[in-house]
Chains A and B, each alone.
Chain A
Amino acid sequence: MRTFRQIRPILAALRSHKTAVTLLVLEIALTMAVLGNLVFIVYGTVQRSHVSTGVVESQIGLIQSIGVIGEDNPGTVAGNLAAMRAAPGVADAAYGFLPLWHADRSPLFLDASRQHPAVHAYEFMGSQGLNRTLGLHVVRGHDFADAELPDVMDVLMGKVAAPVPVLLTESLARRLYPGGSALGSILYDGTKSLRVIGIVDHLRGEITGSPSDDDSLVYEFRVGTQNLGGGYLVRSQPGRLPEALRAAAAAMQKANPGHVENKVLGMPELRANYFRSDLATGRMLVAIILILLVVTALGVGGLASFWVQQRRRQIGMRRALGATRRDILHYFQIENVLIVTGGVLLGALFAYALNLFLMHRFELAHLPAGYLLVGAMVLLALGQLAVLGPALRAASVPPVVATRSV
């Protein structure tokens, strides 16, 4: 109680330093505005980098094998896949695409006239067994049956007449058929018609942070004696990805002297590459956040220590009149809380305004109120930390100072 009774005299004292106090409040408010938004951006990036693509990433590897046209090459897709499956540590293999690797959205249509695209979604295609290799979870409907798959050359040449069986992600099914059931429906991409046979839980083509990342469809085709270059995917037994991938790549190269193995990498590496520049930006922003905190602490601490020096005599008088060291310490601490609180309240407004600007210019999301609360806590704590030194020095001013002239 005793501490709180000090508030009134503190306010009175602050009134005679209006300018410096106003500037400090302004500084804290600006810091809070920038800080809140930066932390929001950085935290968003970190969160995004942990979103799963929906496939068993720790077990999947990619061999990008480029067929050289005109070179003799005895390998066939079926033969390659068999050779890869025979390699030690390999659980399954397929020819096709995987998330975070040249994923691109294609338009999908609900009617054959193809006038207006209903959505743009990621299309994953691959050989029979792509679903098993990626480790997709079919939650409704049924998985691909080898007998119903179209032939790869018909698909690549755009010559399939019958609808191609596809799996949709739940997200895409909801978007295409809100309220209805997607199973059994027919839809169209640029060149063929597709029949929905099942729904998988998740399959993200990219991780941009948008819910539409999860709008994907998968279809398989039958491969055999064709000689195809492209992405060969390996699924290893748990924990054996590096050795399985190496062995599979060696088997591939042996079977295909006319191919160039341009890229051999596991999905963990692919993911690291995908997020590298985002995380780098995040690190820069963290550096800026630290600079801001340091500068604000300097401002708060600097002014406090200046005031302590200025008020040595008054402090001495208060001590001589019976104030304890604790009273003096609390005086400066409460003064700091008042100033920082003012700054934080104004800062919440600034943060919101800055967020609107960033939303407008850089497509940032809306800043949740929680960040403001945490920002306020951090700044209050920082203020207390910065003022502690000067306040302790004030508390140690001896009463005898009051009797001396300046």
Chain B
Amino acid sequence: MFGYYLDLAMRSLRRHKVLGALMMLAIALGIGASITMLTVLHNLSGNPLPQRSGVLFHPQVDPRPADLPGASEEPPDDLTYLDAVNLYHLGVAPRRAVMSANWLPVRLDAPDSPLAMRTDRATTADFFAMFDVPFVYGSAWSAQDDESHAQVVVLSKALNQKLFGGADSVGKTLVIATKTFRVVGVIGDWNPQPRFYDIDDGAFKDAEQMYLPFFTWLDLPQDYGYGPMRCWGNDPGAGEHNPKARQCTWAQFWVELDTSAQVDGYRSALKQYSEQQHQLGRFQRAPDVRLRGLLDWLDVRHVIPVTVRMQTWIAFGVLLICLVNTVGLMVAKFLRKAGEIGVRRALGASRRDVFAQCLVEAGVVGVAGGLLGLPLAWLGLWMVRQQPVSFAASAHLDLSMLGAALLLALLATLGAGIWPAWRASRVAPALQVKSL
């Protein structure tokens, strides 16, 4: 029966070519717009590190003063210097990494080589293993290097390309902020998006150009900022030249916890630490801690840009309008066929048969519209990629979105076809046959 209905649908569409084409075009435009935005949204809300996201956690404590007008309930995202050092030495998690980012003047270790500012992440040895960072040459530094404030550096592939032409640079030296650093490793392609481990400055920033041991970094003769610093009190610049200022948070901190027992253990250790700081009088607020998993953390922080969420709403608005348009055209079309339907009913077709026949026709329009919508979505994503915004580069159509586009088109048009088809199936056969 389906084959026959398909045949009828094709005939009907051929007979009213213009109307059919208009319906398909409208569906295609609606699908193109909504799939474009869905793809952007899908890419932005993806899991940045699928293989590790289950075991990475983001601890927060609340060192703010009791009286802080307008303060949010949520403890600060980052840690103060003191809390960062204390939690780093807490020693409960199997792995942990404290970090921050800025930029530093870098030159090759050769006379008269030019200086350039390079972005860097200061962190501790576990960072690379915790976040599954691949190495092309060499390896991460050791916990011993952290301990001894060793002057070692890990380069990104891009910076290694720029400085050493992509050669194995392990053992070579660089002058960073006037100190000599030895290259111990070069990492491969690694740039999780959203950049979950540091979203203070926007969640879709690229990874830094090089990595230094955190405590070595703090020792450097530097005043180039200490990451996105937030200070409470009346002087927002309190920590500008002094990262150890007690009222400023700027250090990100992540732990790896492999079992739920470890998670519970770490949470109570975090509470205990807050309790202790409260008793010492350093934490004025009652102990308030957070320990969120990676995906939870991204969820709570609403990393999806508000313009993207707005445009997604708008795109679905467009789809809705396209569907209303389709419903209108379908009603007109099916009722135009009232005579034909009357004959079929008089020859014994049930209302269900007529209904099914009309739905098949709607489905054909939907699938055709969806197919036509795919190049439009591709065009839309190309437009998105031309945008100078940080998340644009990741907007690509993948197989799952292709499937979603066709499915959405089919379901939407079937939905839009139900009512016109139902109306068509109510056509009274006697009346129609008489008028022929």
Chain A positions within 8 Å of B, measured between CB atoms, are 17, 19-20, 23-24, 26-27, 30-31, 34, 38, 66, 68-71, 104, 106-107, 109, 114, 116-117, 189-191, 260, 262, 276-277, 280-281, 283-285, 287-288, 291-292, 294-296, 298-299, 301-303, 305-307, 310, 358, 362
> Closest CB-CB distance, A164 to chain B, in whole Å?
15
A260 to B16, CA, bound (A): 70
Task: Give the top 10 A-B pairs by smallest Cβ distance, nearest first.
Answer: A190-B235, A23-B328, A70-B178, A299-B325, A280-B387, A302-B22, A190-B234, A68-B105, A69-B221, A27-B324
Residue among A24, A189, A301 making CB contact with B22, cutoff 8 Å: A301
Main SS of the interface on chain B? helix
Query: Are A68's CB and B115's CB within 8 A?
Result: yes
Listed by A's residue number, 23 A-B pairs whose Cβ atoms lie within 8 Å are A20-B328, A23-B331, A30-B317, A66-B117, A106-B236, A107-B236, A190-B233, A190-B235, A260-B115, A276-B388, A281-B307, A285-B311, A285-B314, A288-B314, A288-B315, A288-B318, A295-B318, A295-B321, A299-B26, A299-B329, A305-B18, A305-B19, A306-B16
Given the complex, which residues of A lie within 8 Å of B389, measured CB to CB?
276-277, 280-281
Query: Are A302's CB and B329's CB within 8 A?
Result: yes
B280 contacts chain A at the CB level, 8 A cutoff: no
Query: Are B325's CB and A27's CB within 8 A?
Result: yes
Given the complex, which residues of A lie within 8 Å of B327, measured CB to CB?
23
Interface 1/0s, chain B 282-321, versus A by CB < 8 A?
0000000000000000000000001100110011011011
Residue among A26, A66, A298 making CB contact with B324, cutoff 8 Å: A26
Query: Are B223's CB and A299's CB within 8 A?
Result: no
Interface residues on B, range: 35 or more
Query: Are A277's CB and B387's CB within 8 A?
Result: yes
Chain A residue nearest in CB terms to B333: A306
A341 to B389, CA, bound (A): 40
Query: Are A281's CB and B311's CB within 8 A?
Result: yes
Given the complex, which residues of B lie within 8 Å of A17, measured CB to CB?
332
A107 to B238, CA, bound (A): 13
Query: Are B221's CB and A70's CB within 8 A?
Result: yes
> Closest CB-CB distance, B77 to chain A, in whole Å?
18
Residue among A260, A292, A303 making CB contact with B332, cutoff 8 Å: A303
Query: Are B383's CB and A20's CB within 8 A?
Result: no
B276 contacts chain A at the CB level, 8 A cutoff: no
A19 to B327, CA, bound (A): 10
Given the complex, which residues of B lie within 8 Å of A291, measured CB to CB?
29, 32-33, 318
Query: Are B234's CB and A114's CB within 8 A?
Result: yes
A175 to B115, CA, bound (A): 46
A132 to B56, CA, bound (A): 53
Given the complex, which residues of B lie within 8 Å of A27, measured CB to CB?
321, 324-325, 328
- Centre residue among B315, B317, B384, B423 by max chain A CB count within 10 A: B317
Chain B residue nearest in CB terms to A38: B314
Query: Are A292's CB and B117's CB within 8 A?
Result: no
> Closest CB-CB distance, A341 to chain B, in whole Å?
17
Chain B residue nearest in CB terms to A66: B117
> Closest CB-CB distance, B281 to chain A, in whole Å?
22
Residue among B178, B306, B314, B331 making CB contact with A71, cutoff 8 Å: B178
A38 to B293, CA, bound (A): 38
B63 contacts chain A at the CB level, 8 A cutoff: no
A71 to B238, CA, bound (A): 26
A70 to B321, CA, bound (A): 64
Given the complex, which residues of A lie within 8 Å of B29, measured CB to CB?
291, 294-295
A276 to B392, CA, bound (A): 13
Given the complex, which residues of B lie within 8 Å of A277, measured CB to CB?
307, 387-389
Query: Are A295's CB and B384's CB within 8 A?
Result: no
Given the complex, which residues of A lie within 8 Å of B19, measured CB to CB?
302, 305-306
Chain B residue nearest in CB terms to A70: B178
Query: Are B178's CB and A68's CB within 8 A?
Result: yes
A107 to B222, CA, bound (A): 27
Query: Are B321's CB and A260's CB within 8 A?
Result: no
Interface 1/0s, chain B 103-126, versus A by CB < 8 A?
001000000000111000000000
Instruction: From known contacts A34-B321, A190-B233, A291-B318, infer whether A20 and B388 are also in contact, taking CB-CB under 8 Å.
Output: no
Instruction: From known contacts A285-B314, A288-B318, A291-B318, infer whether A296 and B177 are also in contact, taking CB-CB under 8 Å.
Output: no
- Centre residue among B16, B317, B324 by max chain A CB count within 10 A: B324
Instruction: From known contacts A19-B423, A70-B177, infer whether A298 and B314 are also in contact, taking CB-CB under 8 Å.
Output: no
Given the complex, which residues of B lie within 8 Å of A307, measured CB to CB?
332
Query: Are A20's CB and B321's CB within 8 A?
Result: no
Given the complex, which residues of B lie within 8 Å of A284, measured CB to CB?
311, 383-384, 387
A362 to B312, CA, bound (A): 13
Chain B residue nearest in CB terms to A190: B235
Chain B residue nearest in CB terms to A284: B311
> Closest CB-CB distance, B211 to chain A, in whole Å?
20
A295 to B28, CA, bound (A): 10
A287 to B387, CA, bound (A): 13
Instruction: From known contacts A284-B387, A291-B33, A306-B333, infer whether A298 and B22 are also in contact, taking CB-CB under 8 Å.
Output: yes
A403 to B222, CA, bound (A): 96
- Centre residue among B117, B321, B384 by max chain A CB count within 10 A: B321
Given the complex, which residues of B lie within 8 Å of A19, measured CB to CB?
328, 331, 423
A291 to B37, CA, bound (A): 14
> Closest CB-CB distance, A273 to chain B, in whole Å?
8
A260 to B177, CA, bound (A): 11
Residue among A294, A302, A362 making CB contact with B23, cutoff 8 Å: A302
Query: Are A34's CB and B317's CB within 8 A?
Result: yes
Within 8 A of A (CB), among B314-357: 314-315, 317-318, 320-322, 324-325, 327-329, 331-333, 336
> Closest CB-CB distance, A379 to chain B, in whole Å?
12
Within 8 A of A (CB), among B19-41: 19, 22-23, 25-26, 29-30, 32-33
B171 contacts chain A at the CB level, 8 A cutoff: no
B224 contacts chain A at the CB level, 8 A cutoff: yes
